[in-house]
Amino acid sequence: MNFDHTEEQALLRRSLERFVAESYTPAQREAYLAEPAGYRRATWSQLAELGVLALPFAQAEGGLGGGLVDSVLVAEQFGRGLVVDPFLPTVLMAGTLIAQLGTSDQKSVWLPRIMGGDVCLSVAHAERKGRGALSFVATHAAREGGGYRLKGGKTLVLAADPEALIVLARTAGATSDAAGLSCFIVPTERVTLRKHRIADGTLAADAEFDIALPAAARLGPEGEAYEAFEDMIGRASAVLAGEAVGIMDALMEVTLEHLRTRKQFGVPLGSFQALQHRMADCHVALEQARSLVIKAMIADAEGTRTERLRAAFGAKAFAAKAGRLIGEEAVQMHGAIGLTDELSVGRYLKRLLVIHALLGDQRMQLDRYNALAEKAG
């Protein structure tokens, strides 16, 4: 398989490198995080103009028909720049569910607005008692009149100022059943949102629901949303692994430059064999993580559904482990200042720790990987 970027992908990468260099200096990023939405609307519009927000959607829906390779390419550059725009929750999560489950009317309402950078959406799926189990859903949507009554709560809703949420709710079955789950489009003006900042400074929210919804708010057939939801989580996990690879790449560059230029006892730090061995371990971990992301991209293009999910969860699990190793080593080699926001090292580590937890930490991802292996066996 040819791993070289196509001409279009190379052009996209150069465009994103320029976007990050011009729009994401540390001072600019801090200013974006201070915005009420946690990002800057103008940069979101810039990404729409570059075609980034239309990249994963099918051409028949007005998108560019990109695959997982293209989304990972974007994520790697976003990782290097610590981009805070809501690409993951709006495009890769909410947009994917609308594209997979939505009616033609729902798609025509939301997808053009997503691709045009006119809206921010998010997915509300995680619950405090779920401990990362994707099918654990206590939030329920009971039939009421011609629609539904949605009751329950969600945690760690990414992008704390969305116009609407895609809410995963139970319409039938027991709390941990994969069957009986449905997705609903819920305007946030009717939702109680409690915003908070997570470790990397970005905004998230907890959500509480007790509202009536029309039947038209449901995405797809009632009780049959789990497979599309799990597919979305798999692809998003692979993209997060790609973002982690971009961050680890940048950390290695910064740390190697520090070891070449910083001197102790009159010689560069990089001349000490112990540090050379530690950097070699980091390099191996990075390349292993990169290889597993490539495996996930190959499986996405050529594999069965089970192979795609296993490769994605495996890539995310290993990227979480490698990211923590490389991030912590980079901080140690820079000394105490590496923990501060004065250097990019500290900011990179914080984002890697968040990536470790998002959509399931290393243990959760391995549990999913092993469950799929048992099912395949």
Task: Determine what percent of the chain is predicted with pLDDT higher than 70.
Answer: 99
* Rounded Cα–Cα distance for residues 221 and 342 (Å): 50
pLDDT band for 7, please (50, 70, 90 cuts): confident
Q: Which two tokens stand for residue 281?
A: 């371990």
In this prediction, residue 343 carries a pLDDT of 81
For the chain, the domains span 7-119, 122-223, 227-376
> How much is the pLDDT for 93?
98
* Share of residues in the chain with pLDDT > 90 (%): 85
Whether 4 shows a pLDDT value over 80: the answer reads: no
Angle made by CA atoms 342, 343, 347, in degrees to the nearest 5: 100
What sign has the CA pseudo-torsion 9, 10, 12, 16?
Answer: positive
Q: Could you report the per-residue pLDDT of 112-171, keeping only the tens digit for each?
A: 999 999 999 999 999 999 888 899 999 999 999 999 999 999 999 998 789 999 999 999
Q: Bigger pLDDT: 159 or 377?
A: 159
Q: Of 152 and 1, which is predicted with more confidence?
A: 152
Q: Residue 377 above 70 pLDDT?
A: no
For residue range 251-290, list pLDDT tens digits in order. 999 999 988 888 778 788 777 888 899 999 999 999 999 9
Asked whether the predicted pLDDT for residue 205 surpasses 90, the reply is yes
**The pLDDT of residue 117:** 96
| Topology at the third CATH level for domain 227-376 | Butyryl-CoA Dehydrogenase, subunit A; domain 3 (1.20.140)
pLDDT recorded at residue 197 = 94
18 compared with 373, residue with greater pLDDT: 18
Mean pLDDT value across the chain: 93
* Fold type of domain 122-223: Butyryl-CoA Dehydrogenase, subunit A; domain 2 (2.40.110)
Q: CB within 8 A of 169, min separation 6: which ones?
A: 137, 139, 140, 141, 150, 152, 181, 182, 183, 184
> Confidence band (pLDDT; 50, 70, 90) for 2?
low
| pLDDT number for residue 373 | 83
Closest CA to 223 of 184, 255, 187, 196: 184
Of 1.10.540.10, 3.10.20.30, 3.40.50.300, 1.10.3720.10, which CATH number belongs to 7-119?
A: 1.10.540.10
| pLDDT tens-digit map of 23-79 | 999 999 999 999 999 999 999 999 999 999 999 999 999 999 999 999 999 999 999
Q: What is the pLDDT of residue 272?
A: 81
End-to-end CA gap in the chain: 27
